[in-house]
Every structure is written in structure tokens, then in C-alpha cells.
Amino acid sequence: MTAENSTLVSKVLVLDSDDAERDNIKAFCDANGLVPVKAQADNALAVLRSNVDLGAILLSECYSECGGIAAGRAIHRVRPELPIFLRRTATPNLDDFSEADQRVFRAAYTSDTMHLLRDAIGVSLFSRAYPNALVRGITEVTKAAIEGQFKHVSVEHEAPCLVKDRIIFGELFSMIPLESSWCRGYMMLQSEEQQLLSFLSTEAFGPSVEGEEANFREINNLLGETTNMVWGAFKNRFIIDAPDSNRLSQVPIIVNHRHRYISFGSEDPLLCVKYRLHDRRDASRESIVLYQWFAFSLAWSPDKFKENLPSVESLFDSGELEMF
């Protein structure tokens, strides 16, 4: 799935074995900016352990042989950051649940009360507004930076999405702080080391590594330089005023390598873009996947956002525009 627009969506894992509800759920997702994906009951937990761009889970009370409530408990133990919305058959609430089970599920709804799900999704996933110019500009500057660093590749990206996941993709990631008068947080690029090594070893990145054996230090430098280029373009395009240095707060960033988990100290959804890099010289080669996360966890004031675009007068002065 490629996308050249800035419409934000969120991917949700649908765990519902009722065929009669499938069209209802699909219609709801289409109408509310959700991209539904499904998994078989016997591998749902495996999917959850590996997926890195989910926003929520839609779970049926009657799901699987053990039942949806037991499944919800197991999912919550594995991925407590993901909100679980439970479709019930009789009552659209959790009042008859124990306190412990009420903490497992974010909200309940029935087939006849889908508006409750819509409201809960809005609070959990779409409560933060991202200016369209920002989302569109992020993909534009990132694509240009990647193509500038990764030689002989073409870049496509999926629709930007909001995620609640905190699972790191691959073994390699770079992170850089973002600070302005309207936002403070971090940008992160993630990829799998072996994919990058494979491309490097076949000179897909250009003559800089010709005749040399690819190694992880070159990969580190390449991803780091790409991150710097994205940051520089982001700063030039979106940052006009610096933040007030006398009022800056910080929160710890937690990384658990064993569980491939990262926390930016906030429950807010992350802005995520998935890029695929294709070798233009060999269409059969496996594409490289890069995930880009934005965590504006320290400050967020989209009402102060302003895109730093050149004025018409400056374009005339520079010669980029002239009178017809």
C-alpha cells in the first residue's frame, strides 16, 4: 500500500471470528480512519510480539475456544500499551467485570452501539491533531533524504499512521531530538541490519563502498547521516522559533533490548511512517524497510505550527520565478 497524501490512519488488529460481523467491522473501519488486519487465533500472540505499527485491538467476547476475555488478559500481559476494545453480545459496558479485568479493556461496545467504539477510538487514537502540512512535509523531506543517501534506490511509503506500539523494529535504530516553540520530542528511524548489509555488499548504495566488505559501522554511519539529513530538512521547513530554554522539562527514555521495547514517557500515540526502498537495478531484490517514528512527548502545540515556506517575493529575488 503506497500513499502520497497526508491523511492519518491507524492500523487495528481485528480478533473476531463472527463472519456475520465482518462487513460491519470493515464498514466501521473504513468510515473512521482505521486499517483492519486480522490474525488466526493460534498465532495472534506471535503477531503481537512482532508487529510494530498497531494502534489498537478489536476483540470479540466470543473469540477463540478460550473466550475473548481470557484472550484479552493474555494480550494485555504481552502488549499492555495497546488499547483493547471488546465487542460484547449483550451489554456495551464492563460493569460486570472485576476491577482487574476492567483494567485490561479500554472500552466495550456491541454491534448496535458502534458509536461507543467510535468515541473510544477517538479518545485513544485520534485525540491529538497533526497538521496536514506537517505530515505531508515529513514524508517529502524524508524521502528526499533517503534517496540522497541510499544510491540506486526508489522510495515509497505507506499512509502515515498513529500507533500505540512500543516494539522496536529490527536491530538498528537512530534517534534525534526535535525542539521548537511548538514541539519537543524525538524522531526515530528503525531498520533490520541484515537487509542493509545485503544492500551494502552489492553496492546498492553507490561507489562509496565499492570493493569493500560491508560492516555494521558503515551501516551505523549511513543511518546516522540519513537521520541528520532528515532533521536538517525538518528544521529548515518547520522550525522558526527555538523553545524557551528556561522552561524545558525532560523525561527518561526507557529501552529494554531483550523485549525490543522503548518508552518515551508518554501514553500519546506516535506518528509513524513506513518506507520501502527498492533497488532500481534489480527489481527481484528484497526491499529495505525503514520505520520512522515521531514522539512529541515533551511538548506539543500544533496551534503554533507554521510551515517555513519561501514567499513569492523571495522566489522572484532568487530568480526561481520571473514575470511571464
Domains (range + CATH), the chain? 10-124 (3.40.50.2300), 132-304 (3.40.1550.10)
From residue 35, give the alpha-carbon distance in Å to each of 28, 116, 159, 237.
10, 18, 10, 30
Q: Are 186 and 178 in contact (CB under 8 A)?
A: yes
**How many residues comprise the chain?**
324
Q: Are 155 and 275 in contact (CB under 8 A)?
A: yes
Is the pTM value of this prediction over 0.85?
no
Residue owning grid cell 511512517: 273
Write out the chain's pLDDT in tens, 324 residues. Answer: 444 445 789 999 999 988 888 889 999 999 999 999 988 767 787 788 777 789 999 999 988 777 889 999 999 998 899 999 999 999 999 999 999 999 999 999 999 999 999 999 999 999 888 999 999 999 999 999 999 988 888 999 999 999 998 999 988 999 999 999 899 999 999 999 888 888 776 654 544 444 445 577 888 888 999 999 999 999 999 988 776 666 667 888 999 988 889 999 888 899 999 999 998 888 888 899 999 999 999 999 999 898 886 543 443 454 544 544
Query: Which residues, listed in sequence order, are joined to residue 299 by a DSSP beta bridge?
Result: 184
Strands (E), the chain: 10-15, 34-38, 54-60, 84-87, 107-109, 153-157, 161-163, 172-179, 183-191, 254-256, 261-263, 270-279, 288-300
Q: Measured between alpha carbons, how far is 48 from 9 in angstroms, rounded to an integer? A: 19
